[in-house]
Amino acid sequence: MLEISRDGRTWLLTGPSSGYAVHVTGRDELVHLHWGPRIALADAEALAARPLPEVRGFESALDGHEEYPVEGGPRFVRPALSVRTEERRGTEWAFERYDAEDGELRLRFTDAGLAVTLHYRTRDDVIERWVTLENQGPPVEVLRADSATWTLPDRDGWRLSQLHGRWAAESRLVRSELTYGEKVIGSRRGHTGHQHLPWVALDTDATEERGEVYGCALGWSGSWRIAVAGLPDARVQITGGAGHDDSGLLRLATGESFTTPVFAGLWSDGGFGGASRAWHAYQRAYVVPDADRDRFVLFNSWEATEFDISEEQQQALAARAAAMGVELFVVDDGWFGARTSDRAGLGDWTPNPDRFPQGLKPLADHVHDLGMRFGIWVEPEMVNPDSDLYRAHPDWVQYQPGRKRTKFRNQLVLNLARDDVQEYLFGQLDALLSGAPIDYVKWDFNRSFTDAGWPGDPYPQRLWVDHVRAFYALVDRLRAAHPGVAFESCSGGGGRIDLGVLSRTDQVWTSDNTDPLDRLAIQHGFSQLHPARVMAAWVTDSPNVMLNGRVSSLRFRFVSAMAGVLGVGGDLTRWSAEELAEARDWVALYKEIRPLVQRGDLYRLRPPAGGLSAVQYVLGDETVVLAWLQAQHYGEPVPPLRLRGLEPAASYVCRETGEVHRGAVLLHHGLRPALRGDLDATVIRLRRI
Ligand code: GLA
């Protein structure tokens, strides 16, 4: 809901439990008034009538109070917007008008021929903010254009939560005190990166169940930056957007415009758990395509076969996967061009004639005959120098003239900002999807930008932004042309996970780390922001071949992976008859609890910290607990798990034991899971009676 003051200079956005207010002063300064619990318009007006706190000495009265601080004028905070023309730097804005349509508020300001519009849209308690720039004046260079600056109220003792990582160790949660100055996270890599998810949360005294939490998440899959500033007066401002520094984003010629990605913000007073549930609900309702449809149990061949694949061997895997109850069979890397190792073939998206003499159709048909859907792996934005594509078009890659072309994993990055590259890729992928009955595409991105040059282009810097837009456009175009095909975002595991890619893909590959114990921490971090509905998790072989040799039971591996979109990725030809039978039972159990996991409310009962950890999902009358014991010490029994989200006055029957429990008892005294030893795990289903 949007309310506007009579003078048309104060705006109040109201969500189910939150409120957000801004005001344009008589001097055309756009100041932030409120972000927190719901307030009345009269409260916002009272805040607008308060003068900005007096400042002395060298301080600026505007710093820490503006909705979108720019470069230019009496400001010393990090600018969200920085532009320059041949003549001058910075801007000086005059308020032009506001528009309010379909729940979206637009505030438009002008400076000579340049206009900036701040956009606000409420999605329940999430506020989506972005900015458009329109240039009718002389050409301008946009050095920086953040999507939004978020202002938090004066409080003591702010804490910052972030999700950091690296390859095979993504999205690990850390919480630290926010001191004065700036904490800057981001990616300088051309993709979202494994190092940080583009999300931060700020609180002063929240717990998992209680307290105020402010969160911000960016919807952009290229380089990005979020700066969290602890300002001198105990205020906090968070500014974020596309691009990793101020060295230049794009140029706007006369008549051109630019729209930033969305930087979404959420206030919650339900603690970290309440904030996560609100983020999950937002993504399921407004971001992820078809989120009301549950994702399939998949098999992926990568860890089983790596590059050594053949049609016969894939058929053998498919037969075992189908018998286990798998619903989608995905052939990973190695099916195309001369791709028998990572040294060759990327760029040539036609089936390898030695491996698939009749193309992919016979295998796809076979998989369909087994009752499963068929998927394939691609990495369209990349090329191996040893490929027909590179031999034909060595200038289609990002490179700096006269410099070495840096190879990572023996591959170079295609310059997707070029129209001819986009057309080539659409042609290849469209033909691929038309040539065989393919239902699913795992879209990978396995190296970061290093030599992001574009010889001959007057402003090569633009390829950082244009690559991402071209990637989005390509996926959108393929989705439109092949509406039945689902897409998975992968980048060496979790190197491209953000709200931007999630708005056009069906699920993401969380991490190349499939060790079921490491995964618990990765999943714990992931769940701070993203829902289980998009979090792919596979059961692979034990000992874990890819990473650490850890030995774990099939039970532990399954219960770990069942916390997301279940997949299987082991070499099934080497699983015993007993293991295959056990796996079939786990897959059947997952299908039963899948609606709760993928669409229910998530409660993190205990974080993974060495002993017992657990999550609970609640949907309607059903609830399920997944619990893991990393290590039991001194023979002590595991502590009881206090459940959440239940009716105290109701009774619940345990599907595992048949026991009936009272809601109040489960909520206040809990349930002790039957776990012992090391790496044990269990599933507890309860139904309200
Ligand atoms: C990346 C992915 C893996 C696999 C390989 C194939 O590393 O994250 O899952 O697809 O590429 O080369």
The pLDDT of residue 239 is above 80 = yes
- Give nearest CA residue, ligand 1 atom 2: 492
Q: Which atom of ligand 1 is nearest to the CA of 492?
A: 8
Report pLDDT digits (tens) over 299-332: 999 999 999 999 999 999 999 999 999 999 999 9
Is the Cβ–Cβ distance between 102 and 125 less than 8 Å?
no
Domain contains 83: yes
What average pLDDT score do residues 92-104 get?
94
Upstream peptide bond of 543 is cis (omega within 30 degrees of 0): yes
Model confidence pLDDT, tens digit, residues 569-593: 999 999 999 999 999 999 999 999 9
- Candidate list 512, 515, 601, 680, residue with the active-site label: 512
Ligand 1 pocket test: which of 332, 496, 514 has the largest number of ligand atoms within 8 Å of its C-beta? 332
**Pair (206, 249) in one structural domain:** yes
Distance (Å) from CA 624 to ligand 1 centroid: 32
- Residue 303 in any domain: the answer is yes
pLDDT at 495 over 90: yes
CA of 493 to the centre of ligand 1 (A): 7
Q: Residue 276 Cα, ligand 1 centroid: separation in angstroms?
A: 28
Q: Given the CA of residue 332, which atom of ligand 1 is nearest to it? A: 10
- CA of 492 from ligand 1 middle (Å) equals 5
Segment 633-642 shows an average pLDDT of 95
Instruction: Provide the residue count of the chain.
Output: 689
Looking at ligand 1, which residue's alpha carbon is closest to its atom 6? 333
H runs (alpha helix) in 283-378: 302-305, 311-324, 361-369
Rounded to an integer, the average pLDDT of 649-672 is 97
pLDDT reported for residue 247: 82
551 falls in which pLDDT band (50, 70, 90)?
Answer: very high
Q: Which of 257, 287, 317 represents a domain boundary (last residue)? A: 287
Cα–Cα distance, 1 to 285 (Å, whole number): 18
Q: Whose CA is nearest to atom 4 of ligand 1?
A: 302
Residue nearest to atom 3 of ligand 1 (CA): 492
Give pLDDT, residue 206. Answer: 98
Q: Is the domain of 543 the same as that of 636?
A: no
Which among 333, 386, 444, 601 is annotated as catalytic? 444
535 pLDDT more than 90: yes
| Binding pocket residue ranges, ligand 1, CB within 6 Å | 302, 332-333, 377, 444, 446, 490, 492-493, 509, 512
Number of domains within the chain:
3
Ligand 1 mean position to 657 CA, how many Å?
A: 41
Pairing of strands 373-378, 440-443: parallel
- Residue 56's pLDDT is what? 86
Residue 52: its pLDDT value, please?
A: 87
Rounded Cα–Cα distance for residues 532 and 503 (Å): 15
- Is residue 28 in some structural domain? no
* pLDDT at residue number 233: 76
CA distances from 606 to 96, 273, 535, 610 (A): 51, 11, 19, 11
Task: Clarify whether residues 479 and 628 are in a common domain.
Answer: no
Task: Tell me the HSE value of 593 on the side-chain side, using a 13 A CA sphere.
Answer: 31
Q: Give, for ligand 1, the residue of 191, 194, 300, 302 to mutate: max count of ligand atoms closer than 8 Å to Cβ.
A: 302
Q: For residue 109, what is the domain's CATH number?
A: 2.70.98.60
Read off φ and ψ for residue 454, nearest 5 degrees: -145, 80
Note the pLDDT of residue 232: 83
User: Does the annotation count 512 as an active-site position?
Assistant: yes
Amino acid at 251: R
> Which of 307, 333, 335, 545 to probe ligand 1 with, by most ligand atoms within 8 A of CB?
333
Whether pLDDT at 623 is above 80? yes
The Cβ of residue 686 has, within 10 Å, a number of other Cβ atoms equal to 26
Question: What pLDDT, on the 0 to 100 scale, is given for residue 54?
Answer: 87
Residue 234 has pLDDT above 80, yes or no: no
Q: What is the pLDDT of residue 661?
A: 98
Query: Is the pLDDT confidence value at 158 over 90?
Result: yes
Which pLDDT band holds residue 103 (cuts at 50, 70, 90)? confident
Domain boundaries, position 462 = 298-599
CA of 418 to the centre of ligand 1 (A): 26
Percentage of residues in the chain with pLDDT exceeding 70? 100
pLDDT tens readout for residues 506-533: 999 999 999 999 999 999 999 999 999 9
Residue 235: which pLDDT band, with cuts at 50, 70 and 90?
Answer: confident
Q: Where are the alpha helices (DSSP H) in 93-141?
A: none
Residue 149 pLDDT exceeds 80:
yes
Position 387 pLDDT exceeds 90? yes
How far apart are the C-alpha atoms of 500 and 608, rounded to whole Å? 29
- Mean pLDDT score of the chain: 97
> Tens digits of per-residue pLDDT, 668-688?
999 999 999 999 999 999 999
CA–CA distance, 514 with 525 (Å, rounded to integer): 15
pLDDT in tens, 195-219: 999 999 999 999 999 999 999 999 9
- Asked if 130 and 260 count as a contact pair (C-beta separation under 8 A), the reply is yes
Which CATH number covers residue 643?
2.60.40.1180
**Domain co-membership, 178 together with 246:** yes
Shared domain for 595 and 610, answered yes or no, is no
The pLDDT value recorded for residue 610 is: 93
Catalytic status, residue 444: yes
